[in-house]
Amino acid sequence: MRRELLTKEELMSHLHENGIEHFSEVENAFVEGDGNISMVPYDK
């Protein structure tokens, strides 16, 4: 997160916008070139 200058609060906001409530639900997260965050949730 530091390399991308992204705070924990900003990341949590993006997670919530995508219906994810907690970090433990995300397998991987990527910051795209345009600044958007792509997330790969764990299979349920």
pLDDT of residue 3: 60
Q: What is the pLDDT of residue 25?
A: 92
Domain edges within the chain? 8-41
pLDDT of residue 18: 86
User: For residue 16, what pLDDT is reported?
Assistant: 92
CA distance 36 to 43: 22
Dump pLDDT digits (tens) for 1-44. Answer: 556 678 889 888 989 998 999 989 999 988 888 888 898 989 86
Q: Which residues contact 16 (CB under 8 A, 6 or more apart)?
A: none
3-state secondary structure of 29: strand
CB 9 within 8 Å of CB 16: no
State the pLDDT at residue 37. 87
* pLDDT computed for residue 27 by the predictor: 93
State residue 10's pLDDT score: 86
